[in-house]
Each structure stands twice: as C-alpha cells, then as structure tokens.
Amino acid sequence: MFKNVIRLISKKCKMVFSSVVSFSFTFLVMYSPVFAAAPPKLISGTVSLLSAVSRWLLLIIPVGAGAFLGYQALQKSLTDDQAVIAEKNKLMKNTLIGAAIAMTADGLATLVLSFYS
C-alpha cells in the first residue's frame, strides 16, 4: 500500500512539474522580443478584413432594420384586422430585438479585434 501512495504522489509531482515547465516555456515564448516585432500577415490581414466587414455591418444593420420596420408599419396602417396588426407588432418587436443583438455582437467583435491591433 505504501508503494501505491508513493507512486501516486510521484505521478502527481511529474504532472505538476511538466505543467509548470510548459507554462513557463509558453510565457517565455509569447513575451520574447521575437514575437513582439510584428504580427504575422495572416493575423493582420484577418483583422483588417473583419474590421472592414464590421464597418459595413454597422451601416447595413440599422438601415435594413429601419426599412423593414417602415414596411411593417405601412402594412399595419393599411389593415383593420386585429390578427394582422398583432402579427405586424410581433414582427416589428422581433426586428428591433434582432437589430439590437446584431449591433451588440458587432460591438463585441470590434472589442475583441481591438486587442490584436
């Protein structure tokens, strides 16, 4: 039984030691001057692409949501049926919620991209 306890402790010590060594190596590599020189072209190109797409989405989302809201409001004003009015109100509410979620997601993507530049 004593040998099993020693063997278990030995395994745990090896795991802790290897994780500490790998963490310190990763820390050393990530913060070395070689990696601080310039980001790879793939990362800088991807950041540029995503920031350009983000700018376009910041224009398209509100304009599209506004146009759809205007169309639904026009259809709502042209009818007297309460079921259709309730459906249009639901569509308008869902459009506003979707636009808010899309703008928030785009803002979060912009926040994440700001750490790469």
pLDDT in tens, the chain (117 residues): 556 656 656 665 555 555 544 545 454 445 555 555 566 666 677 778 888 888 888 899 999 999 999 999 999 999 999 999 999 999 999 999 999 998 998 888 888 777 765
Beta-carbon contacts of 55 under 8 Å, excluding residues fewer than 6 positions away, are none
What is the structure's pLDDT at 12?
56
What is the structure's pLDDT at 28?
47
If we measure between CA atoms, which residue out of 71, 77, 76, 67 comes closest to residue 99?
A: 67
Copy the structure tokens of residue 17.
């030691």
